[in-house]
Amino acid sequence: MPDNEDPRRRLPVLQTASEPEEPPRPPWHWVGFGAVAIFVAWLPLAWAAEAVSRRLTEGGLERLATLSRHERLALLARIAIPQALALVLAATAGGFLVTRFGRGTRTRDAAFAGLAVGLLALGLTFAQTGISLAPLVVPLLATASAAGGGALGARRPPR
């Protein structure tokens, strides 16, 4: 081996012309991404909310029939409020994602992501328990929270 040759092998460096930039995804793609993000965030938060609800209602469900109206409403609030907070947090994060990273997306698109999640959850609930008025809160809460998250995400453009 000659003295001036380097013992290490060198790989050739390929100079490629800059690739043309991809066109941005349409807003409806981001609605789907936001809906998936809401579900992905909502699942562990709902699990944690269930644990909090169980801790807050220890022993109360067994004696539900013997409670006064006021005590029954307080018990049901201890079950519902942690679940509602979990949905609000997840929908806000999903709506934020839609408008923060989606080019050309608006708060309306974030709200659609929340509405899609809320309607799917409503359909699953009705399939399991039948039709009632209480689950109608879920699409309203998810849509409003996702729209709020979308408004937060639209305040600043992505880095």
Q: How many CA atoms lie within 13 A of 23 on its CB side?
A: 3
Question: Do the Cβ atoms of 61 and 74 come closer than 8 Å?
Answer: no
Q: Is residue 16 part of a domain?
A: no
Q: Kindly state the tokens that stand for 103.
A: 């080019």
Residue 2 inside a domain? The answer is no
For the chain, the domain total comes to 1
82-108 pLDDT tens trace: 999 999 999 999 999 999 998 889 999
pTM above 0.85, yes or no: no
Question: What was the pLDDT predicted at 24?
Answer: 78
Q: Is residue 48, in this structure, part of any structural domain at all?
A: yes
**Which of these, 31, 25, 40, lies nearest to 106 by C-alpha position?**
31
Position 65 scores a pLDDT of 79
- pLDDT, one tens digit per residue, over 121-146 is 999 999 988 888 888 999 999 999 99
Residue 159 domain flag: no
pLDDT of residue 151 exceeding 80, the answer is yes
7 assigned to some structural domain: no
100: containing domain: 28-154
How confident is the model over 19-71, as pLDDT tens digits?
A: 667 777 888 999 999 999 999 999 999 999 999 999 988 877 777 778 889 98
Residue 107 lies inside a defined structural domain of this protein: yes
Does the pLDDT value for residue 1 go beyond 60?
A: no
Q: Is residue 6 part of a domain?
A: no
* pLDDT at residue 92, rounded to an integer: 98
